[in-house]
Amino acid sequence: MCGRFVIASSPEILADRFAVTEVGFDEHEADYNVTPRAMVPVVRARRQTEGREEARVLSLVRWGLVPSWAKDPKVGDRLINARAETVATTNSYKNAFAKRRCIVPADAFYEWTSTDKLPPPEQKTKAPRQPYLVHRRDGEPMAFAGLWEIWRNEAVEDRDAPDAWLRTCAIITTDANPLLEPIHSRMPVMLPEQAWDTWLDPDNADLAELESLLVPAPEDWLEVYPVSTRVNKPENNDASLVERVEV
């Protein structure tokens, strides 16, 4: 899964990296410990409509997908990750997969050693699970395959009010590659640059083609190393969290 990640790149860097033509916000503070419900940048394609040109847009949405039919936005707390194997058929995700795909940029993500590496149960105390940081060797932001949705808050009568609509996203995960498998069985799908147009195209209805993109990233893209257990607490959020430690 992907339960925490890092997005420290500025909107300007992201706009340049992902060939964005329109940025929907002025600034976004570096976040070294992104948690569910955080507002995160996503890249999506916008169709041409009356008064608006077709564009690749960078905008802020809340992490944790809320389907349009949901009665309560709290359901998004359970929908931060969509499994590649079932994303096209699961009720919570299938509409977004067909029509509202996005890229979730990330400078890195965290993963923890699996439960079987914890101390034996007979020990009186358990050591904190060891976090690892995963990032691209070339230093470029990762392009997580994502989905986005828009939810109507029926409690707000004025449809033009800022809080009448909620935009949210989820990150698609797949089997871990051999580099990450010793740490965790899942990893985010990382799209290569040549797949971005295909993935973002809202008119692309070839689900088989889209599903073929949902594969583990090559091992040689990535570097993995242990980091401080300070990242285990969401309230800790600073650049020291991404520094390598000895274990």
Residue 46 belongs to a domain: yes
Other beta carbons within 10 angstroms of residue 86's beta carbon come to 12
Model pLDDT for residues 17-39, shown as the tens digit of each residue: 999 999 999 889 999 999 999 99
Catalytic residue among 50, 85, 102, 111: 111
Which of these, 19, 42, 57, 190, lies nearest to 104 by C-alpha position?
A: 42
Instruction: Look at residue 219 and tell me if it is in a domain.
Output: yes
Tens digit of each residue's pLDDT (9 = 90 or more) over 159-178: 888 888 999 999 999 999 99
Residue 189 structural domain = 5-242
For residue 193, the domain's CATH number is 3.90.1680.10
Taking residue 153's Cβ as centre, other Cβ atoms within 10 Å add up to 14
Interstrand relation of 55-63 and 39-46 (parallel, antiparallel or unpaired): antiparallel
Q: What is the 3-state secondary structure (H, E, C) of 102-164?
A: EEEEECEEEEECCHHHCCCCCCCCCCCCCEEEEEECCCCCEEEEEEEEEEECCCCCCCCCHHH
Average pLDDT, the chain: 92
For residue 110, being part of any structural domain is answered with yes
Does 162 fall in a domain? yes
Instruction: Name the residue among 83, 104, 75 with its Cα closest to residue 172.
Output: 83
| Least confident range of 20-29, 222-231, 232-241 | 20-29
How distant, in Å, are the alpha carbons of 92, 185, 210, 213, 221 from that of 197?
24, 28, 11, 12, 20
Question: What is the pLDDT at residue 168?
Answer: 98
Give the model's confidence band at 7: pLDDT under 50 very low, under 70 low, under 90 confident, else very high: very high
Q: State yes or no: is 111 an active-site residue.
A: yes
What is the Cα–Cα distance from 200 to 189, expressed in whole angstroms? 14
Beta-carbon contacts of 211 under 8 Å, excluding residues fewer than 6 positions away, are 84, 87, 88
Bridge partners of 134? Answer: 109, 224
* pLDDT above 70 coverage of the chain, percent: 93
Cα 192 to its chain centre, rounded Å, is 15
pLDDT of residue 94: 97
The verdict on whether 102 is a catalytic residue reads no
Is-contact 101 199, C-beta < 8 A? yes
Determine which one of 2, 102, 149, 169 is catalytic: 2
Q: Which of 208, 195, 204 is nearest to 99 (CA)?
A: 204
In which band, very low, low, confident or very high, does the pLDDT at 187 lie, cut at 50, 70 and 90? very high
Query: Is 247 contained in some domain?
Result: no
Tally of domains within the chain: 1
Residue positions counted in the chain? 247
Beta bridge partners of 52: 49
